[in-house]
Copies of this chain bind each other. A is one copy, B any other.
Amino acid sequence: MRKGTSASVLPSETESPIGAQPSEKHTIYHIAERVGMSPSTVSRALSGRGYCGEKTRAKILKAAQEMNYAPDSAAKMLKMRRTKKILFAVPDICNPFYFDMINGINQVLEEHGYLMILFYTKHSLKEELKAIQNLREKVADGMIMVSFHFCEENIRAINALKAPVVLTNQYVSAGGQDRFDYVYVDTYEGIRLGTEHLVGQGMRRIAYVGGSLGEQTGHQRFCGYRDAMDGAGLPVDDRWIAESDYTERGGWLAARKWLENAERPEGIVAANDLMAIGVMKAYEEAGLRIPDDVAVVGMDNLDIASRVYPKLTSVALKQEDIGTQSAQLLMSRLLGRPVPNRGIKLLPSLVVRNSSLRAVRT
CB-CB nearest in chain B for A24: B162
CB atoms of A70 and B137 under 8 A apart? yes
The minimal Cβ–Cβ distance linking A74 to chain B, given in whole angstroms, is 4
Task: Known pairs A93-B106, A106-B118, A309-B309; list 19 more (Cβ under 8 Å).
Answer: A24-B162, A70-B133, A72-B78, A72-B138, A73-B137, A94-B100, A94-B103, A96-B96, A96-B99, A102-B118, A115-B117, A115-B134, A116-B117, A116-B118, A117-B117, A117-B118, A307-B307, A308-B308, A308-B309
CB-CB nearest in chain B for A21: B162
Q: Hey, which chain B residues are within 8 Å of A304, CB to CB?
A: 303-304, 307
The minimal Cβ–Cβ distance linking A306 to chain B, given in whole angstroms, is 10
Residues 109 to 130 of chain A near chain B (Cβ within 8 Å): 110, 115-120
A259 sits at the interface (CB 8 A) = no
The minimal Cβ–Cβ distance linking A162 to chain B, given in whole angstroms, is 7
Q: How far is the CA of A222 from the CA of B65 in the complex (A)?
A: 41
Q: Hey, which chain B residues are within 8 Å of A235, CB to CB?
A: none
Q: How far is the CA of A103 from the CA of B94 in the complex (A)?
A: 7
Q: How far is the CA of A303 from the CA of B308 in the complex (A)?
A: 11
A139 sits at the interface (CB 8 A) = yes
Q: Hey, which chain B residues are within 8 Å of A119, CB to CB?
A: 115
- CB-CB under 8 A for A78 and B74, given A94-B103, A116-B117, A117-B115: yes
CB atoms of B115 and A72 under 8 A apart? no
Q: Hey, which chain B residues are within 8 Å of A100, CB to CB?
A: 94
CB atoms of B137 and A71 under 8 A apart? yes
CB-CB nearest in chain B for A69: B136
| Most chain B beta carbons < 10 A, residue from A85, A100, A120, A307 | A307
